[in-house]
Structure 1
Amino acid sequence: MNMLGAQGNPCAAAPSRVYLVQLLLLYLLSLFFMGSPQSDPAKCPGSSVAIPYPFTISDNSSIVRTLGFAILCEPAGPMLWLGSKLYTVLNISLDQGYLRVTGDTVYSQCQQNNGLVTTNFLNLVGTPFTFSHTLNKFTVVGCDAMAMIRSGYSYRGGCVSFCASEGSITTGACSGVGCCQASVPEELKALDLEVTSIRSQLQQSPSGSWSNISRNNTSAWCTKAFIADQGSYVFSRGDLDRNLTNLPMVLDWSIYGGRCSDARRAPQTYMCKENTECYTVANNTGYRCNCSEGFRGNPYLQGPDGCQDIDECKDEMEYPCTHKCINTVGGFNCVCSMGMTGDGKKHGNGCRRDTKLLITAGGGLPLLLVLLMLGFWTHWLVKKRKLAKTRQRYFLQNGGMFLKQHMFPQRGPLRIFTSSELEKATDRFSDNNIAGRGGFGTVYKGVLCDQMVVAIKKAQRVDESQVEQFVNEMLILSQVNHKNVVQLIGVCLESEVPLLVYEFITNGALYHHLHNTSVPMPWEVRLRIAFETATVLAYLHMATKPPIIHRDVKSSNILLDESFTAKVSDFGSSRPMLHNQTHVTTLVHGTMGYMDPEYFQTSQLTERSDVYSFGVVLIELLTREKPIFCGKLDEVRSLALHFSTLFHENRLMEIVDHQVAEEAGASHVKIVAQLALRCLRLKGEERPRMIEVADELEALRRLIKQHSVVDPEE
């Protein structure tokens, strides 16, 4: 992610909103066909699965097919129509808003191909359900498989599974060898798969003992892809040869009606009843209901089956008071015995001797004032200690101790910001100050109290992976001191969400200037940007100790200041190369179109992986084409492959930007193209080092300045 956020794919079609209208019609039909809700919960005969309202049982299969919340009772148990398939319902959660089902959820194919696209293998469009991105995992089983989740012409997720040798397959481990897993994209309604053979992609065949096995065991090359409950599937070596069936899958559900504030404006269809709280889900297109604190029941029903007051005083196992309990609507009160005072709660302050009696006995107003002052001071001290503990907890949660032990002093001390300072700088992180969005989170423009303009990176969620990226980027930047790297100014460790503060880069990302503007940059400026980026990568590979691999080199991570000087950013996924290491074995990470195919196949990251990605950026500068673009008949094409094909067919000038061709000339363009293609060689050992690339680019810059590159055709 950069200071202005990730760039979109113009080939991707805008998401259809027709299904929103369908959901509203389905809800109205449910009111017509099913009438008033019955006592909750219902059950199918012979089944233990509770079916709470708004889910209802219907004996009409055509209604079940039409209405998202209608359940059909079959001998095998309660069934639900999802798209064109019938699934068995395992359980329904009202509080957490999910539905667990099983059925035909596994896609399988055993033919080798260059990209089999399966549209709507699982389709939830037109239903109130989405694939749960928190409770599911997208899993691929196979030895020669890349399975990607598509949305139009863009990719939303996926993973790669291969088998280097039979001994490399480990039962129980789903780490990319025989089996791989990835997160399910948020708000996913349709599972459109693109299944590709890795061998066909790279025009290479596997080597070693596994290659010999594959000739006798063709089922080992079958690909199985599915979305399943993340706790339900454990990979086994035998899964490569057997069919996988009846894997549980979790679906999130919601009531269509927009945000809660919108739904309340239509009381005739608003589903949350008395004593409930409404919360918005499904990308602001739906909502769910929960009982308010102190109430229990079904929030979608009225009367005795709805949310009713809990009598906490009758809870013998967890009686809440130290003395006497008095139940109230939505809560309870504790009463202390005579001569005692306090909240009377077991988990509160309890009851203690009443000091007012002592004040009366003393008969002095000064004593009362002293006690009041003592009370205010105690309250202030408790509040201060509570705030300090909260900040210390966030400090530890955000990796503070690890940073304190491992931060390096080369860059000098970083500024430590408080959360209130950054809230003031961004007007409480107002949407008006958003400068960009990306996979890591959101970047805000802020103005500090000393009038310095900064960019503040705020993680979009708090989990281990986000904290790891946060800590990793700080550690990497603490070792980097280069004029063409975005400067880290400071951090905020006391807030729940990690915050990094950078210098603000005014002209945004190189990606924007190449692909989203009609004003082209002169070739001399583009060549300088390429040279400056190459020097940064050469510096990371050679001058830092240990050497650093950037791992996500792309035009959206190259920012431009007011003088169009390159500033390389986003080191969250970078990796250090320890002493005597030739590579780092990692889970595959990167951006499609820029990713090194050798790293993609082997999971072995080297400095030559950055060289490959830089080669793609160099082609972008020459052509102003995107790394993944739409060709004829709207097929998705690789810029690197297309550029190489045209070069070897002597048709290079067909793809080169006309301004570059006019300013640089055909001979100069050919030299740059040859350098880019050397960076894009499939074998990393055949690619040049970044220092060699930087030297050649500097020589080309000098030739341009001296007007010594002359096109013989001119």
Structure 2
Amino acid sequence: METTMQMQLAAAAAAALLLATGFTTAASAAQTESRGVGWGCPSKCGNVTIDYPFGIGENCALNRDFNLNCDGQDSIAKLWTTTHSHNSQTQKRESQITAIDYEKGQMDFVMPVSSFCYTESGKNLSVKPDWLNVPNAFTVSSKANTFFTVGCNTYGLFRSSKGGSKFSTGCVQICDRAPKKKDVGNCSGFGCCQTNIPAIGLRDIGAEARSLPFDKKVWKFNNCSYSFVAKNGWYDFIPEDLAHLRFDSAPLVINWAAGNQNQTCKSVDKDNGYVCGLNTECVETEFRCGYRCKCKDGYTGNPYRLHGCQSKDFLLYFLKIHSH
């Protein structure tokens, strides 16, 4: 009798949970579908977890900016954007995503390194600048990224635009010999320099490495210059990078905001187009370009789903009776 009663309680709790998540009535299903939370939407691509507002496939994402592609199978699959792109001299391509942080509203993009190489005679061997473009729902994080340039007799340009105006910043370094390990800190200016990303909510950025007038003595230990943007803490300069950089791409952090770019938590109309679900709070973004959502204290779940934030006490009760 006791076991039967426990089963009945568990069933009742499960029914209540389904009702709370909005899947048991036609009205709730219609609201949920409008949030892109449909059945059969993939929840994983490689090692990256996919959850709303992101999605893979039709009716799985908030909008086209959050719609992603998954290339491959199982743990080796790679996640790609559908509307963001890299532009180089030779090709335009989608951007790879290696991580999504739903709590911070950030994700890791992969951006190729820009390089400038020349021959022993001083002839330009190759010039490879690179650009990253993201749509309105995303911005390049100024707090989580740094612009690096590696080389001697080198300058690196960080290019971007804002409000229709183009601008560049960067750093330069001159050295007549190869630095040794005792000479360098973490990109201290001898063989490697760095600068901050402008904190103005950028959506298109470019990295370009260039060389100062040819010096054969420098060429012997550094025939290529490199520039790239990388997430803070990812890159540590070593003198060997002057002879051959250890990587050809680097991860950088992109902010994302599900709310309209022209709205903030103070200006949004919560009765018209508000993307946060029930039992949630609105969170301002780094540059106040749109907004994010989080569950209220005492609730847990996905704040972008209509009924995604559930009471922690209710869930604990459900799990407790279901475990007996």
Q: TM-score range by the shorter chain?
A: 0.5 to 0.7
Deviations 1:576-605 (A, max 9, x none): xxxxxxxxxxxxxxxxxxxxxxxxxxxxxx
| 1:190 matched to 2:204 | yes
Alpha-carbon distance in structure 1 between the residues aligned to 2:137 and 2:130? 16
Measured after TM superposition, the shift of residue 171 of structure 1 is 6.5
Where in structure 2 are the equivalents of 1:574-593 lying within 5 Å?
A: none
Judging changes above 3 Å, is the alpha-carbon distance between structure 1 residues 283 and 173 closer, same or farther for their aligned structure 2 residues? closer
Where in structure 2 are the equivalents of 1:575-654 lying within 5 Å?
A: none
Measured after TM superposition, the shift of residue 138 of structure 1 is 0.9
Alpha-carbon distance in structure 1 between the residues aligned to 2:204 and 2:101? 22
Measured after TM superposition, the shift of residue 159 of structure 1 is 1.8
Measured after TM superposition, the shift of residue 296 of structure 1 is 1.2
Aligned equivalent of 2:109: 101
Q: 2:228 aligns with which of 221, 226, 229?
A: 226
Judging changes above 3 Å, is the alpha-carbon distance between structure 1 residues 36 and 150 closer, same or farther for their aligned structure 2 residues? closer
Aligned equivalent of 1:78: 79
Measured after TM superposition, the shift of residue 313 of structure 1 is 11
Q: 1:253 aligns with which of 244, 251, 256?
A: 256
**TM-score using structure 1 length:** 0.33
Report SS of the residue matched to 1:68: helix
Aligned equivalent of 1:161: 173
Aligned equivalent of 2:24: none
Judging changes above 3 Å, is the alpha-carbon distance between structure 1 residues 178 and 292 closer, same or farther for their aligned structure 2 residues? same
Deviations 1:533-556 (A, max 9, x none): xxxxxxxxxxxxxxxxxxxxxxxx
The runs of at least 4 aligned residues of structure 1 exceeding 4 Å deviation read 39-42, 116-120, 151-156, 168-172, 193-196, 312-315
Where in structure 2 are the equivalents of 1:499-514 lying within 5 Å?
A: none
Alpha-carbon distance in structure 1 between the residues aligned to 2:299 and 2:309? 5
Q: 2:190 aligns with which of 177, 186, 189?
A: 177
Measured after TM superposition, the shift of residue 72 of structure 1 is 0.8
Higher RCO, Cα 8 Å, sep 6+: 2
Alpha-carbon distance in structure 2 between the residues aligned to 1:120 and 1:108? 9
Which amino acid in 2 is paired with 1:222? C
Aligned equivalent of 1:689: none
Judging changes above 3 Å, is the alpha-carbon distance between structure 1 residues 276 and 36 closer, same or farther for their aligned structure 2 residues? same
Where in structure 2 are the equivalents of 1:522-601 lying within 5 Å?
A: none
**TM-score using structure 2 length:** 0.68
Alpha-carbon distance in structure 2 between the residues aligned to 1:41 and 1:183? 38
* Paired residues of 1:137 and 1:181 also in contact (CA < 8 A): yes
* Paired residues of 2:275 and 2:304 also in contact (CA < 8 A): yes
Judging changes above 3 Å, is the alpha-carbon distance between structure 1 residues 69 and 180 closer, same or farther for their aligned structure 2 residues? same
Report SS of the residue matched to 1:311: helix
Deviations 1:206-241 (A, max 9, x none): 6xxxx63x3445xx1422111111122222222223
Which amino acid in 1 is paired with 2:139? T
Which amino acid in 1 is paired with 2:142? H
* Paired residues of 2:37 and 2:305 also in contact (CA < 8 A): yes
* Paired residues of 1:80 and 1:88 also in contact (CA < 8 A): yes
Aligned equivalent of 1:344: none
Alpha-carbon distance in structure 2 between the residues aligned to 1:86 and 1:34? 27
Measured after TM superposition, the shift of residue 121 of structure 1 is 1.4
Measured after TM superposition, the shift of residue 278 of structure 1 is 0.8
* Paired residues of 1:107 and 1:121 also in contact (CA < 8 A): no
* Paired residues of 1:136 and 1:230 also in contact (CA < 8 A): yes
Judging changes above 3 Å, is the alpha-carbon distance between structure 1 residues 129 and 310 closer, same or farther for their aligned structure 2 residues? same
Judging changes above 3 Å, is the alpha-carbon distance between structure 1 residues 242 and 167 closer, same or farther for their aligned structure 2 residues? closer
Report SS of the residue matched to 1:166: coil
Judging changes above 3 Å, is the alpha-carbon distance between structure 1 residues 284 and 120 closer, same or farther for their aligned structure 2 residues? farther
Measured after TM superposition, the shift of residue 88 of structure 1 is 2.7
Over the residues paired in the alignment, what is the CA RMSD in angstroms? 3.8
Report SS of the residue matched to 1:227: strand
Alpha-carbon distance in structure 1 between the residues aligned to 2:275 and 2:78? 27
| 1:291 matched to 2:290 | no
Judging changes above 3 Å, is the alpha-carbon distance between structure 1 residues 284 and 101 closer, same or farther for their aligned structure 2 residues? closer
Judging changes above 3 Å, is the alpha-carbon distance between structure 1 residues 97 and 49 closer, same or farther for their aligned structure 2 residues? same
Alpha-carbon distance in structure 1 between the residues aligned to 2:176 and 2:151? 12
Q: Which has the larger radius of gyration?
A: 1
Measured after TM superposition, the shift of residue 193 of structure 1 is 4.4
* Paired residues of 1:80 and 1:87 also in contact (CA < 8 A): yes
Alpha-carbon distance in structure 2 between the residues aligned to 1:59 and 1:273? 21
Where in structure 2 are the equivalents of 1:39-188 lying within 5 Å?
A: 42-44=42-44, 47-58=46-57, 67-75=64-72, 76-81=77-82, 82-83=84-85, 84-102=92-110, 104-111=111-118, 121-124=131-134, 126-151=135-160, 155=167, 157-168=169-180, 170=183, 173-186=186-199, 187-188=201-202
Deviations 1:357-387 (A, max 9, x none): xxxxxxxxxxxxxxxxxxxxxxxxxxxxxxx
Judging changes above 3 Å, is the alpha-carbon distance between structure 1 residues 100 and 193 closer, same or farther for their aligned structure 2 residues? closer
Aligned equivalent of 1:37: 37
Judging changes above 3 Å, is the alpha-carbon distance between structure 1 residues 241 and 117 closer, same or farther for their aligned structure 2 residues? closer
Report SS of the residue matched to 2:241: helix
> Which ranges of structure 1 fall in alignment gaps of 5 or more residues?
1-30, 316-714
Identity in percent: 29
Report SS of the residue matched to 1:238: helix
Report SS of the residue matched to 1:273: coil
Judging changes above 3 Å, is the alpha-carbon distance between structure 1 residues 282 and 67 closer, same or farther for their aligned structure 2 residues? farther
* Paired residues of 1:164 and 1:177 also in contact (CA < 8 A): no
Alpha-carbon distance in structure 2 between the residues aligned to 1:195 and 1:177? 16
Where in structure 2 are the equivalents of 1:264-663 lying within 5 Å?
A: 264=269, 267-281=271-285, 283-303=287-307, 306-311=308-313
Alpha-carbon distance in structure 2 between the residues aligned to 1:53 and 1:88? 18
Deviations 1:238-264 (A, max 9, x none): 222325224222111112421123322
Deviations 1:591-637 (A, max 9, x none): xxxxxxxxxxxxxxxxxxxxxxxxxxxxxxxxxxxxxxxxxxxxxxx
Report SS of the residue matched to 1:248: strand
Q: Which has the higher strand share?
A: 2
Which amino acid in 2 is paired with 1:276? T
Judging changes above 3 Å, is the alpha-carbon distance between structure 1 residues 278 and 34 closer, same or farther for their aligned structure 2 residues? closer
Judging changes above 3 Å, is the alpha-carbon distance between structure 1 residues 163 and 39 closer, same or farther for their aligned structure 2 residues? farther
What is the number of residues matched between the two proteins? Answer: 262
Q: Which has the higher helix share?
A: 1
* Paired residues of 2:259 and 2:275 also in contact (CA < 8 A): no
Which amino acid in 2 is paired with 1:263? V
* Paired residues of 2:35 and 2:306 also in contact (CA < 8 A): no
Report SS of the residue matched to 2:233: coil
> Which ranges of structure 2 fall in alignment gaps of 5 or more residues?
1-30, 86-91, 318-324
Which amino acid in 2 is paired with 1:260? C
Judging changes above 3 Å, is the alpha-carbon distance between structure 1 residues 59 and 223 closer, same or farther for their aligned structure 2 residues? farther
